[in-house]
Amino acid sequence: MNKTYYITTPIYYPSGKLHIGNTYTTVFCDALKRYKALRGFDTYYLTGMDEHGKKIETVAEERDMHPLDHVDEMAKETRALWDRLDITYDDFIRTTEKRHKTVVQKIFEQLIEQGDIYLGTYKGFYCMPCESFFTDTQLGENNTCPDCGRETSQLEEESYFLRLSKYQKRLLNFIEEHPDFITPETRKNEVVSFIKQGLNDLSVSRTTFDWGIKVISNPKHVVYVWIDALSNYISALGYGTDNDEKFQKYWHGDEVVHVTGKDILRFHAIYWPILLMALDIPVNFRLHAHGFYQAKEGKMSKSKGSVVYPDTIINHYGLDELRYFLLRELPYAGDGIFTPESFIERINYDLANDFGNLLNRTISMINKYFDGTINRNPDFTHEADAALEKHLDETILQYKESMDSFKVSEAIKSLWSLISRTNKYIDETTPWILAKSEDKKDDLENVMYHLAESLRHIGILLTPILPDASQALFKQLGVLERLQTWESLEFGAGKTFDVVAKPNPLFPRLDSEKETERLKGIIRGEEDEDIEPVDETNLATLDDFNKLDLRIAEILNAKYHPNADKLLVLSVDAGEKEPRQIVAGIAKDYTPESLKGRKVVVIVNLEPVTLRGERSEGMLLAGSNKKKLEVLTVQGLNAGDHVS
């Protein structure tokens, strides 16, 4: 039976649009899941949404929505984003789902009964955005929140408490006995010193708002959002229900991995294991807490216009480009910086030059010298072969070691060193010179084979990182499915390559300067960034389209609407006996004078409406983006001509 691998992301707050920071965690877990699947593990990848709490209630209020409608919308958007990013999650849990709520309520009651959760009163300082209480000694200057720096307010309320203190020693021992429990090492040290300062019992319920899971035996309390949220890792597997096969299989399986950002280390490294200990569930997960993506000037900030959104990047530059940058640029133990310069450079140097060119050159040469087919011929060797083959073996080992210890960026570095080594092999063997002498044909074939076989290896190791590019590589190089597996990572396993006749460059080179400037504008939101995908679920039929009567119309006259700043009132000749009046929302973009005499496209069979007292008998067509709107204009046609 295959070994199991269960990996989770934090569940995200539906409080705003997800940026490249949250995306990083999700792509990182996706790469690890794909890697483990490649290695033959039975994998299960969980992600989802953390939908309760005061903060979410407030955001929904601000949008004038019921919290449930708000979170439904955000969950839909988030799933659509993960689908766009080709995230191979197996389950998407939402804490508002019944399957989750029942488990949390059950856990809470069990812990009350056991005496691990008790009722008391909380007096202290409360940070609303962080939904956390702090003691005097924990507070920052002027009673500010030690985590986010914002103002806290003094509160006294009845609250349930989880006896963290009871488990303090056991947790410290556990961490000592399991040196790999928390990575990187620096994060582990932070956790240990935090525990050593002494753990206060944790307030685990709230009475000041409603948007949460009610405590069954005392419903004026809702469960603290972190207890609610952390439980998702087992509720999603069916823990505590009649249907708990997944829990038995994956939680009690071979590997369980929680990946989070460094910001929520304490919750995962202290509260979560203690909760599990109290529930008598084995603490058999590993926790990896990665650093943060920042802008050049520090934290990404909406007000400074420095937040980078993944869909924007994908729209303009592509999915693999984004995945590559995110996974390559964040170091194992530190923070990473996203700058337009570095993003464009990575595309140009790493993807277009080093990798893309290697594939292109290899395929072109195999076509040119061998009509597109190359075979292994072990009777011939070149003196440069051994070094390349050695590098290849070493790369596989390094890559494996790195991926097994959450060092995805290091794994990519080793892979790129193989790419550079393979490029160097071309310089060493100079195929274009070998091609000049007929008696060097076998040598040349051996060289070409080495290039193709190295690329096959590169393609396999790239699978978890760049799923699209690796598939394209296999296709262009003609690699059979059985030679795309981890087991086939052995030099010489590929025997024949039938390459495509015309390679299609995977990563075209970009004009650095121009694109960097453009990307800066895109990040600041100056370019139309939301190129929405076509909604395939709502297609129009030809009949729908034919219902519209579209005609060319000449604008005879135009004036400002007497009662609305944004509207113009137009009189147009659509080839009929009388002119028509149309009211159009284009006053911001056109003066009435500038429109006279233009021939535009108008829908003439819309039901007439009255807009602020002016009758409108049609609609004119215009295109727009965030910056401008342009009325569609024609030149050679006449008023009344049909548009279809």
Q: Which stretch binds ligand MSP (CB under 6 A): 11-19, 276-284, 373-381, 424-432?
A: 11-19
Instruction: Name which of 132 and 423 has its Cβ closer to ligand MSP.
Output: 132
From CA 523, how far away is CA 529, in angstroms rounded? 9
Q: Other C-beta atoms within 10 Å of 508: how many?
A: 12
Q: Which stretch binds ligand MSP (CB under 6 A): 22-30, 171-179, 386-394, 626-634?
A: 22-30
What does the block give as tokens for 538? 């709502």
Instruction: Name which of 273 and 431 has its Cβ closer to ligand MSP.
Output: 273
We find the least distance from the C-beta atom of residue 261 to ligand MSP, in angstroms, to be: 3
Instruction: Name which of 90 and 589 has its Cβ closer to ligand MSP.
Output: 90
Among the listed residues 5, 6, 24, 325, the single contact to ligand MSP using CB under 6 A: 24
Among the listed residues 7, 11, 29, 38, the single contact to ligand MSP using CB under 6 A: 11
We find the least distance from the C-beta atom of residue 135 to ligand MSP, in angstroms, to be: 22
419 strand-pairing partners: none
Q: Which stretch binds ligand MSP (CB under 6 A): 10-18, 243-251, 487-495, 550-558?
A: 10-18
Instruction: Name which of 139 and 264 has its Cβ closer to ligand MSP.
Output: 264
We find the least distance from the C-beta atom of residue 472 to ligand MSP, in angstroms, to be: 28
Instruction: Name which of 93 and 595 has its Cβ closer to ligand MSP.
Output: 93
Residue showing tokens 């069979």: 605
Instruction: Name which of 300 and 344 has its Cβ closer to ligand MSP.
Output: 300
**What sign results for the dihedral spanned by CA atoms 83, 71, 15, 103?**
negative
We find the least distance from the C-beta atom of residue 398 to ligand MSP, in angstroms, to be: 25
Instruction: List, in order, residues 6 or more apart from 219 with CB less than 8 Å away.
Output: none
Q: Examine residue 28 and tell whether it contacts ligand MSP (CB under 6 A).
A: no
Residues 424-463 as x/- pattern, contact with ligand MSP by CB under 6 A: ----------------------------------------
Q: Which stretch binds ligand MSP (CB under 6 A): 8-16, 59-67, 275-283, 510-518?
A: 8-16
**What sign results for the dihedral spanned by CA atoms 623, 625, 626, 628?**
negative
Q: Examine residue 13 and tell whether it contacts ligand MSP (CB under 6 A).
A: yes
Instruction: Name which of 25 and 414 has its Cβ closer to ligand MSP.
Output: 25
Q: Examine residue 25 and tell whether it contacts ligand MSP (CB under 6 A).
A: yes
Q: Which stretch binds ligand MSP (CB under 6 A): 9-17, 61-69, 109-117, 450-458?
A: 9-17
Contacts with ligand MSP in 247-306 (CB under 6 A)? 260-261, 263-264, 292-293, 300
Kindly report the length of the chain. 644
We find the least distance from the C-beta atom of residue 174 to ligand MSP, in angstroms, to be: 20
Q: Examine residue 332 and tell whether it contacts ligand MSP (CB under 6 A).
A: no
* Residue 519 phi, psi (nearest 5): -65, -35
Instruction: Name which of 307 and 479 has its Cβ closer to ligand MSP.
Output: 307
Among the listed residues 230, 236, 270, 426, the single contact to ligand MSP using CB under 6 A: 230
Helical residues (DSSP H) of 215-345, grouped into ranges: 225-230, 232-235, 245-246, 265-266, 272-279, 310-317, 319-329, 340-345
CA distance to 325, 329, 351, 464, per residue, from 469 (Å): 14, 19, 10, 10
From CA 566, how far away is CA 282, in angstroms rounded? 64
Instruction: Name which of 13 and 474 has its Cβ closer to ligand MSP.
Output: 13
According to DSSP, the β-strands at 336-337 and 293-294 are: parallel
Q: Other C-beta atoms within 10 Å of 164: how many?
A: 21
From CA 7, how far away is CA 254, in angstroms rounded? 11
According to DSSP, the β-strands at 202-203 and 336-337 are: unpaired
We find the least distance from the C-beta atom of residue 389 to ligand MSP, in angstroms, to be: 38
Q: Other C-beta atoms within 10 Å of 143: how many?
A: 14
We find the least distance from the C-beta atom of residue 15 to ligand MSP, in angstroms, to be: 7
Instruction: Name which of 140 and 261 has its Cβ closer to ligand MSP.
Output: 261
By the 8 A CB rule, do 232 and 48 touch? yes
Residue showing tokens 């802008």: 295
What does the block give as tokens for 260? 């989070």
Q: Which residue is nearest to ligand MSP (CB)?
A: 21
Among the listed residues 5, 6, 12, 82, the single contact to ligand MSP using CB under 6 A: 12
Residues 185-224 as x/- pattern, contact with ligand MSP by CB under 6 A: ----------------------------------------
By the 8 A CB rule, do 362 and 457 touch? no
Instruction: Name which of 74 and 458 has its Cβ closer to ligand MSP.
Output: 74
Considering only the C-alpha atoms of the chain, give the largest distance between any 2 of them, rounded to a whole number of Å: 92
Residues of 385-399 as b/e, b for ≥16 C-beta within 10 angstroms? beebbebbeebbebb
We find the least distance from the C-beta atom of residue 302 to ligand MSP, in angstroms, to be: 12
Instruction: Name which of 12 and 355 has its Cβ closer to ligand MSP.
Output: 12
Q: Kindly give the interhelix angle for 357-370 and 467-477, rounded to the nearest 10 degrees.
A: 10
From CA 470, how far away is CA 299, in angstroms rounded? 33
Q: Examine residue 338 and tell whether it contacts ligand MSP (CB under 6 A).
A: no
We find the least distance from the C-beta atom of residue 231 to ligand MSP, in angstroms, to be: 8
Q: Which stretch binds ligand MSP (CB under 6 A): 195-203, 225-233, 340-348, 540-548?
A: 225-233
Residue 637 burial (C-beta neighbours within 10 Å; 0-12, 13-18, 19+)? middle
Q: Examine residue 409 and tell whether it contacts ligand MSP (CB under 6 A).
A: no
Among the listed residues 229, 287, 396, 411, the single contact to ligand MSP using CB under 6 A: 229
Q: Which stretch binds ligand MSP (CB under 6 A): 6-14, 108-116, 176-184, 447-455?
A: 6-14
Q: Is the peptide bond before 184 cis (omega within 30 degrees of 0)?
A: yes
Going by C-alpha positions, the residue among 46, 51, 40 that lies closest to residue 87 is 46
DSSP annotation of 333 reads S
Instruction: List, in order, residues 6 or more apart from 472 with CB less than 8 Å away.
Output: 504, 506
Q: Examine residue 21 and tell whether it contacts ligand MSP (CB under 6 A).
A: yes
Could you tell me how many residues of this chain bind ligand MSP (CB under 6 A)? 19
Instruction: List, in order, residues 6 or more apart from 508 with CB less than 8 Å away.
Output: 352, 356
Instruction: Name which of 12 and 406 has its Cβ closer to ligand MSP.
Output: 12
From CA 392, how far away is CA 323, in angstroms rounded? 24
From CA 153, how far away is CA 144, in angstroms rounded? 9
609: part of which helix (H) or strand (E)? strand 609-611
Q: Other C-beta atoms within 10 Å of 326: how many?
A: 27
Contacts with ligand MSP in 29-68 (CB under 6 A)? 50
* Residue ranges in contact with ligand MSP by CB under 6 A: 10-13, 21-22, 24-25, 50, 229-230, 232, 260-261, 263-264, 292-293, 300
